[in-house]
Amino acid sequence: MTTFLLVHGAWHNGRCWERVVPLLEAAGHRVFAPSLTGFGDKAHLLGPEVGLDTHVDDVVGLITEENLSDVVLVGHSYAGLVISSAANRISDRIAHLVHLDAMVPEDGESAVDVQPMTRQLIELAEKSESGWRVPPMPEQPAPLGLFGVTDPDDVAWLRGMLSDQPVRCLQQPVRLDNPAADAIPRTHIHNVGATPTGITRRPIPPIQPNGTAAQVWELPTGHDCMITMPGELSELLLKLP
């Protein structure tokens, strides 16, 4: 039995994994898909003080409180920053890192460094009435849709779970100063459907930090593959060594 911890990206909450969780559980595995602070069942905790460090604490806290080990830690989009910092803190509990169409940072980088267009979102938030709320990206015409989701029913479902992201999440840097974390194997899953203008993806080095060949898989869909291709995504996760 494998323990999967699925971490949602910016603006989303743990409900976005609802189509993936039962597929992994049906294969005999244990699955956690929490909402990070400020989202879903923790929406009442949203505030300007919530940042990347808060969300790293969420993940580390869940793993330690549940006494989890050999965790496959999956981070979607912004959560690539979250899982990287979490693994840095508790590397002995992580069996595998999966960057799911995710930001892949270096030590000391923030979301702006990894995805430069994020700076525009920060500037808009700072000039807004709140000074800290970053609203979700707007829906665009097909094939872009809402985070790559184009089915009308799915769009309505997704829109109902989206909420503002605190700007601090995009400003705080990751800390990747634990050499032990380099030994963790990692897999990158790229969603290669339509991509909005301004979104860039860093090339993955051919060799992982642990010295083995990089493992990069692709799904022919938009950004929110857990909604558009839950079966195919689950199959990939179940292939992990």
Interval 72-97: pLDDT, tens: 999 999 999 999 999 999 999 999 99
Mean pLDDT for back-to-back runs of 10 residues, the chain (241 residues) = 98 98 98 98 98 98 98 98 98 98 98 96 95 96 96 98 98 98 98 92 96 98 98 98 83
Report pLDDT digits (tens) over 181-194.
Answer: 999 999 999 999 99
Active-site residue among 35, 69, 77, 84? 77
Instruction: Report how far apart, in Å, the C-alpha atoms of 62 and of each of 59, 97, 155, 216 are.
Output: 5, 16, 30, 28
Q: For residues 42 and 46, what is the distance between their CA atoms, to the nearest angstrom?
A: 8
Q: Which residues does 200 contact at the CB level (< 8 Å), separation at least 6?
A: 115, 116, 117
pLDDT for position 241: 83
Q: Which residues does 119 contact at the CB level (< 8 Å), separation at least 6?
A: 112
Q: For residues 156 and 227, what is the distance between their CA atoms, to the nearest angstrom?
A: 12
Class of domain 3-238: alpha beta
Active site residue 130: no
Question: Given the structure tokens 């965790």, which residue do they identify?
Answer: 71
Instruction: Report how far apart, in Å, the C-alpha atoms of 223 and of each of 92, 109, 143, 149 are.
Output: 30, 22, 11, 8
For the chain, what are the domain ranges?
3-238
Report pLDDT digits (tens) over 2-23.
Answer: 999 999 999 999 999 999 999 9
